[in-house]
Chain A
Amino acid sequence: MQKNINALIVIILSAVLLGAFGFQFIKHEEPCPLCLLQRLGMLGIGIGAAMNVRFGIQMNHYGIMLLSSIFGGTVALRQIALHVCPTFPLFGIPFMGLSLYTWSFLVFACTVLAVALLLVLYDIKKESSDKTPMNELGSFALWLLFLIAIGNAVATYFQCGLGPCVD
């Protein structure tokens, strides 16, 4: 059950990252360095959830998810703070009335909430750290996130090269 929930978290994060890709390639909105760092935070959460799917449910995998959420949330909050003044324009095209970095902050906040709920609701038994069998949902989720990570690496390389991205 918990493995399927973690696989769903991976799929939801993949959908969010695909949405960001859509804004990048369909609406031609180049991501800023802080936007890329938020995507990296989401990938970090995805790695924690993927480890739960692959190696079994463990506390330290949820720790990875929480640390990545805190990192990504901090970056998103910093970007919100940059544009919080009424006279300062929003960055990028808004989606359903909110900017993408505000949505990103909501995703990180929801992840913290989801992990907290999972930790409260389910008792985690000590499992071995060996790889465990994955069902089709888990396998699909992990491959999807892996391909999105590769896609992001290639797209970012063509945008910024190997040096730091221009602000």
Chain B
Amino acid sequence: MMAALFAILALSLMFTLIGFKQSVWALWLIGTLLCVVMFFHHATDTLKILW
């Protein structure tokens, strides 16, 4: 899953180099949202404190 996140951000950088701005936005957003999900997956106690 983490490898996929790096791949998504690498793809986002590739689209930056090519010049497809909308794709960069979409991939960055998907990547960041998945990062937040992964953070709470690895730090469930943080979620409990926030709840």
Q: Which residues on A are within 8 Å of B, measured CB to CB?
A: 33-34, 36-37, 39-41, 43-44, 46-47, 50-51, 54-55, 64, 67-68, 71, 74-75, 78, 129-131, 142-143, 145-146, 149-150, 152-154, 156-157, 160-165, 167
Contacts and interface: CB of A to CB of B under 8 A. Distances in A.
Given A41-B35, A50-B13, A152 B28 contact: no
Interface string B33-45: 0011011011100
Interface residues of B, number: 28
Given A55-B21, A129-B21, A47 B12 contact: yes
28 contacts: A33-B38, A34-B42, A36-B2, A36-B6, A37-B2, A37-B39, A54-B16, A54-B19, A55-B21, A78-B39, A78-B46, A142-B13, A143-B17, A146-B10, A146-B13, A146-B17, A152-B6, A153-B7, A153-B10, A156-B2, A160-B1, A160-B2, A160-B3, A162-B3, A162-B4, A164-B1, A164-B38, A164-B41
Contacts of B1: 160, 162-165
Nearest to B5: A40
A37 B42 contact: yes
Nearest to A157: B3
Nearest to B34: A40
